[in-house]
Structure 1
Amino acid sequence: MKNFSARDAKNQFGLLIDTARVDPVVIEKHGRPVVVVCSVEEFDRLRRIASKHSDPTKKGSE
């Protein structure tokens, strides 16, 4: 996972998007991680997993 400072994320937004499409990117502010940017596909995958864990009636695995 790659890290960007908040300043670099702002100044290199296109690169941030391209990078996050391949692998999630941690955005740091004052040296501390504050958010993660990921692709829509990765976000959807994580939501499906979370949904299965929160609803015991759903079965199956990723």
Structure 2
Amino acid sequence: MISFTANQAKTQFGEMMAKAQREPVSITKNGKPSVVVMSIADYEAIEELKLQCLRDKLARSVAQIESGNLRDGDEVFDELLKDL
């Protein structure tokens, strides 16, 4: 991943945007990673993956309910939180 400092990102904004079209760009502030800039296509792909993962979990849950395999709600939410 390419990295720019916050100051470089500000002064070389056009270059940073051009690079972000090809791969994500990390922007650091005070030497620490702060944000990532990416193409809209990459962002949309990530959002679609997140949505598909949620749909898969929901489908598994429905299948478990239909098969009579019920679980305590707190256990289920604890598992979901581990994935976040």
CA-CA distance at 1:44 after TM superposition: 0.5
Task: Please state whether the residue corresponding to 2:4 is helix, strand or coil.
Answer: strand
Taking the aligned partners of 1:54 and 1:9, their CA distance within structure 2 comes to 34
Q: Which residue of 2 aligns with 1:47?
A: 47
Larger RCO, structures 1/2 (Cα 8 Å, 6+ apart): 1
Q: Which residue of 1 aligns with 2:64?
A: none
Instruction: Return structure 1 stretches of 4+ with deviation > 3 angstroms.
Output: none
Q: Which residue of 1 aligns with 2:37?
A: 37
Q: Normalization by structure 2: what TM-score?
A: 0.65
Q: Normalization by structure 1: what TM-score?
A: 0.87
Q: How many residues align?
A: 57
Tell me, yes or no, if structure 1 residue 12 matches structure 2 residue 12: yes
CA-CA distance at 1:54 after TM superposition: 1.8
Rg: which structure is higher? 2
Task: Please state whether the residue corresponding to 1:35 is helix, strand or coil.
Answer: strand
Task: Please state whether the residue corresponding to 1:33 is helix, strand or coil.
Answer: strand
- Cα RMSD (Å) of the superposition? 0.8
Taking the aligned partners of 1:12 and 1:34, their CA distance within structure 2 comes to 17
Greater fraction of residues in strand: 1
Taking the aligned partners of 1:39 and 1:31, their CA distance within structure 2 comes to 24
CA-CA distance at 1:53 after TM superposition: 1.1
Q: Which residue of 1 aligns with 2:21?
A: 21
